[in-house]
Amino acid sequence: MRIVVASGKGGTGKTTVATSLALVAAELGAVRLMDRDVEAPNAGLFLDPVWEKRKEVGLLIPQVDEATCTFCGKCAEVCQFHAIAVIGKKTLVFPELCHGCGSCTLVCPEGAISEKLDVMGVLAGGPTAHGIDFAQGEMNIGEPMAVPIIRELKKWEPVSLRGTKQSQPMEDEIASGKNAPRNDILEIRDAPPGASCPVVESIRGADFVLLVTEPTPFGLHDLKQVAGVVKELGLPAGVIVNRDGIGDNAVQDYCDDNDIPILMRIPMDRQVAEGIAQGHTLVEIRPEFGLALRDMLEQIAQRVA
- Considering only residues 102-121, where is the footprint of ligand SF4 by CB under 6 A? 102-104, 108, 110, 112-113
Cβ at position 175, least distance to ligand SF4 in Å: 23
Instruction: Give the range of 29-37, 42-50, 81-89, 130-138 binding ligand SF4 by CB under 6 A.
Output: 81-89
CA–CA gap between residue 7 and residue 11 (Å, rounded): 9
- Residue 62 found at the interface with ligand SF4 (CB under 6 A): yes
Nearest of 118, 160, 107 to residue 140 by alpha carbon: 118
Instruction: Give the range of 61-69, 192-200, 208-216, 271-279 binding ligand SF4 by CB under 6 A.
Output: 61-69
Q: Using CB atoms within 10 A of its CB, is residue 170 exposed (0-12), middle (13-18) or buried (19+)?
A: middle
Nearest of 131, 139, 120, 193 to residue 163 by alpha carbon: 131
Antiparallel, parallel or unpaired: β 208-213 and 90-93: unpaired
CA–CA gap between residue 52 and residue 296 (Å, rounded): 31
Residue 64 or 237 having the CB closest to ligand SF4: 64
- Residue 71 found at the interface with ligand SF4 (CB under 6 A): yes
Q: Is the torsion defined by CA of 202, 10, 22, 299 positive or negative?
A: negative
Mapping DSSP to helix (H, G, I), strand (E, B) and coil, where does residue 135 land? strand
Q: Which of 47, 86, 153, 195 binds ligand SF4 (CB under 6 A)?
A: 86
Q: Which of 53, 99, 182, 294 binds ligand SF4 (CB under 6 A)?
A: 99
Q: Which of 55, 74, 280, 294 binds ligand SF4 (CB under 6 A)?
A: 74
Residues of this chain that bind ligand SF4 (CB under 6 A):
62, 64, 69-75, 78-79, 81, 83-84, 86, 91, 98-104, 108, 110, 112-113
